[in-house]
Each structure stands twice: as structure tokens, then as C-alpha cells.
Amino acid sequence: MSKYFKSLYRRFFIKKYLDKCIRYWRKEYIESKTREERVKAACYIDAFQSVRIFIFGKALPIEPPVPEHINCRCAIIPFIDKESEFIKEENWLVL
């Protein structure tokens, strides 16, 4: 395995780890009940964002929360009309 590939591999997992930590602490910040918990979560968010900006030059954008009861799934189903014998990409039905 080349050094360049190892470097990219490590950077990918570092970014994934930082993003996961930031999302976790954002969730904790939203769910916090006391001022101390909010301050703690905000400090962790700032710390992980600082590391992410230092390494990758960009902060993780704020994502709108998705309610847990919504199950977001997408299916692409080929739509076959009776006239054509083959499936065309522009005839696909997205649910």
C-alpha cells in the first residue's frame, strides 16, 4: 500500500470520525436540559470543528434535524410503457 493511499485513507476516516463527533454533540446540545450541559456540548462542538477546519479547511455545515418517525427511503423503479420493449432512463419513476 503506497504512502499516498494510506494518507488518503487516514484522512477519510479522520474526517468521518470528526463529523460523527460533531453531530453527536450537536444532538446533545439540542437535548440538553441544563445550562452546564449546553456549555459542555458547545465547547466540544467548537473543539471538533476547530480540528476539522485546521485539517480540512472547512467546517461541517449545520444540518436540519430529521424527525425520527420519518423514514426517508427512495426507490428508483424502471417505468415500462407498453409501446417500448426496452427501458429508457428518462422513463424511470422515482418514489
Count Cβ atoms within 10 A of the Cβ of residue 25 and give its class: 0-12 exposed, 13-18 middle, 19 or more buried. buried
What gap in Å lies between CA 55 and CA 77, rounded to an integer?
Answer: 41
Query: Is 18:52 a contact under the CB 8 Å cutoff?
Result: yes
Q: Would you state the pLDDT for residue 67?
A: 57
Q: What is the domain partition of the chain in residue ranges?
A: 3-62
What dihedral angle (degrees, nearest 10) is formed by the CA atoms of 49, 54, 59, 65? -30
Mean pLDDT of 25-40: 94
Mean pLDDT of 43-71: 83
Residue 94, strand partner residues: 76
pTM: 0.63
Q: Would you state the pLDDT for residue 5?
A: 61
Q: Would you state the pLDDT for residue 95?
A: 41
Mean pLDDT of 56-63: 90
| Average pLDDT score, the chain | 77
